[in-house]
Amino acid sequence: MRFTTRFAPSPTGRLHLGHAYSAILADNAARSAGGVFLVRIEDIDRNRCRPEFETALLSDLAWLGLDCPLPVRRQSDHFDDYAAALDKLRALGVLYRCFLTRREISEQSLSAPHAPGEGIDGVIYPGPAVAMSRDEEHARIARGESFAWRIAMKYSQDLLGEEFSRLEFVERDLTTNVERRIAAHPHLHGDVILARKDTPASYHLCVVHDDALQGVTHIVRGEDLRSSTHVHVLLQKLLGLPTPVYSHHALLTGPDGKRYAKRDQALTLAALREAGVSPAEIRARIGLPA
């Protein structure tokens, strides 16, 4: 299978040096393997994503010299795909409706004997002690209450049996190309949200679906997403999708030691470009060869 990797930004702001670092690392990996570098627009959060940021990020990437096959996949054009993936999980019985608000979950967590703490999407929700009755569920739906579709880790574990304890992924070091096997522990992240009543799919579901659909063999992304990988490996197993090789790179930090964020206006590629900085200087600035 041809080496295929991708850069998958969300158009919620202008790209900064941290994005440039991640995108260039992925592009370099594809070039050195004679493979393909894809760009994917992850814009399922319709409240935070803006078309003008999509246009801007594509122009920033082109300016950096990162060419990708066109058209790029835009997730908001494919909600039907994610609905079908959710249906598949629902048919396996691993999804349930959760009517608790974030605040209720935080409060439960504070009063728990062993507070589960923060996970990949905020406070970890270990799941209900007792499943909600059908009657109560139907009554709440009829009242129009909001809910999230969560994956039941416990049930997934029962369903997969031994296979659950053998879940793993290969992590590849981008500098040495050394690969090592990492055991995946999705249950440590609790019953993660895969969709909401008003948001048809979560990042976790879409990313897993699209990486498989687009034939992504190698994922290069920041180490802040390593914990999510544990959950992605479970979703891949449940959906019958292959698990790519993962490289989680260190996050670039600015002179103040803090990681770059969309709020750092001065360090957007647009601002640097306007200030006369060249793409070669950007590479030098983030420690990558021209």
CA separation for the pair 240, 169 (Å, rounded): 15
Q: Which residues contact 183 (CB under 8 A, 6 or more apart)?
A: 167, 168
**3-state SS class at 50:** coil
| Upstream peptide bond of 71 is cis (omega within 30 degrees of 0) | yes
E-strand ranges in 91-167 read 95-98, 118-119, 122-123, 148-151
Helix 203-213 to helix 79-92 angle, to the nearest 10 degrees? 100
Q: Which residue lies nearer to ligand GLU by CB, 13 or 190?
A: 13
Q: Which residue lies nearer to ligand GLU by CB, 13 or 279?
A: 13
Q: Which residue lies nearer to ligand GLU by CB, 109 or 247?
A: 247
**Smallest separation, CB 45 to ligand GLU (Å):** 10
**Smallest separation, CB 206 to ligand GLU (Å):** 9
**Smallest separation, CB 21 to ligand GLU (Å):** 13
Q: Which residue lies nearer to ligand GLU by CB, 191 or 210?
A: 210
Q: Which residue lies nearer to ligand GLU by CB, 94 or 220?
A: 220
**Smallest separation, CB 19 to ligand GLU (Å):** 8
Interface residues toward ligand GLU, by CB under 6 A: 8-10, 42, 207, 221, 225
How many beta carbons lie within 10 A of that of residue 23, not counting itself?
A: 25
